[in-house]
Amino acid sequence: MDNMNELNLNELEEASGGKGGSKTVLPRKDGFICYQIESGDTLGKIAKWYNTTVDKIMAANVGIIKDKNDISAGRYIYIPR
């Protein structure tokens, strides 16, 4: 999927986790896409777009997403490829 929220993984900077995802770009992680959450997104919608599951997204974001029902627009998360 070609999504405007996908980031060039070669240009990512390290960031600390936070509520709902990181406020800054995450470090490169092989096998994952770094995605910026938009207003109205849910993990279910994101999982469907990327043909994955909420559980897999949660597993990829341990320490980044603390509550699957509390994600914030503008934050960055990993999406498994």
In a domain, 39, yes or no: yes
Residue at 68 is within a domain: yes
Q: Does 10 or 60 have the greater pLDDT score?
A: 60
Total domains present in the chain:
1
**Could you list the residue range(s) of the whole structural domain that residue 68 is in?**
9-80
The residue ranking higher by pLDDT, 7 or 78, is 78
CATH number at residue 58: 3.10.350.10
DSSP code, position 66:
S
| Phi then psi dihedrals of residue 66, to 5 deg | -95, -25
Instruction: State the sign of the Cα–Cα–Cα–Cα dihedral 62, 64, 70, 73.
Output: negative
Alpha-carbon torsion angle 58, 63, 68, 71, nearest 10: -120
Residue 50: inside a domain, yes or no?
Answer: yes
Answer yes or no: is 56 within a domain.
yes
pLDDT tier for residue 67 given thresholds of 50, 70 and 90: very high
3 lies in some domain: no
User: Does residue 17 lie in a domain region?
Assistant: yes
Query: How do residues 7-55 score in pLDDT, each as one tens digit?
Result: 544 444 334 344 566 677 788 889 999 999 999 999 999 999 999 999 9
Where helices occur in the chain by DSSP H, the ranges are 43-49, 54-60
